Amino acid sequence: MIKIYTGTSKKDEIEMRKVYSSKLCELLEKHNKVVALEADLMNAITTDKIQDKYPERVINCGIMEANMISVAAGMSIAGKYPFAHTFTAFASRRCFDQLFMSGAYQKNNIKVIASDAGVTAAHNGGTHMSFEDMGIMRGLANTVVLEVTDATMFENILEQVATKDGFYWIRTIRKNASTIYEKGSTFEIGKGNLLRDGSDITLIANGIMVVEALKTAEKLKNEGINAAVIDMFTLNPIDKELIETYAQKTGKIVTCENHSIHNGLGSAVAEVIAETGNTKLRRIGIKERFGQVGTLDFLMNEYELTAEHIYGAAMELLKD
């Protein structure tokens, strides 16, 4: 059951890294088979705050991300439920062979926490900025690929998957996230959340782009345009039924993602609607570019990820 939060002030933003370490501490207390692995980023994700309490279950593997995934696989085989965290760029590009061989292929129970998603890597720059990870991961059979929206969702997803069998990719930002859902909301993996109904056009977003899509819908409302907004937090398996319903209802979709338009949310939605009928589509996301150093506000504008850019794409569709 989900409830939408209506606050909009900066004080409602919550640091996702603190959510992770706090919830992880709860899970370690509750489940003795849960372990947490780090690749020398404990301070960055704040798990250093809980290592003293669980020194044998919160383990720093050092700057050896691929090895960390192999360690996680070994722990899974031994009956543990490992979480493995590093920045998104390292978790995907540097570890892909291990993710394939030791994770998905062997059906091990690993939960990869991939932080600093997309442009939110900000001052870490282009080498640390992953625009392709969701595409890489959704190509692995039987892999659940998620991008959490806010603190409430992150807590609930961590609780759900902690001792669940399966291979999970959980993408998140590290720092402040806008609050979208009321505390206590629960989420069904594999199902999109309809945040706002509409009949003229559909905005399908995930991650930090959800709040931008909501801003766009409000701007469109002021012009008499009724936009539906869907939070598609699960990329794989994607909610085909919900996409098909709104493709038929509005006939126009704009996808919004902090990721390349290739192989991510835009591609996944395009694949669904290509099989179901005649729906027009525009994709907001990274277009054939690498990352760079900058503030988040600068990068959002530079890569055309803001509500204004979504609004422009929506108006193009509505005029067609």
**Neighbouring C-beta atoms of residue 38, cutoff 10 Å:** 24
d(CA 83, CA 257): 25
Given CA atoms 13, 16, 20, 22 in this order, what sign does their dihedral have? negative
Is-catalytic flag, 65? yes
d(CA 102, CA 96): 10
Query: Which of 138, 144, 139 has the alpha carbon at shortest distance from 112?
Result: 144
Per the DSSP assignment, residues forming a β-bridge with 176 are: 15
Distances (CA, A) of 166 to 15, 27, 97, 112, 257: 27, 17, 18, 11, 25
Greatest C-alpha distance within the chain: 60
Assigned token pair, 65: 């991300």
d(CA 180, CA 150): 6
Assigned token pair, 74: 């070994």
d(CA 65, CA 85): 9
**Neighbouring C-beta atoms of residue 78, cutoff 10 Å:** 10
Which member of 65, 132, 155, 212 is catalytic? 65
d(CA 234, CA 144): 8
d(CA 196, CA 187): 16
Q: Which residues are catalytic?
A: 65
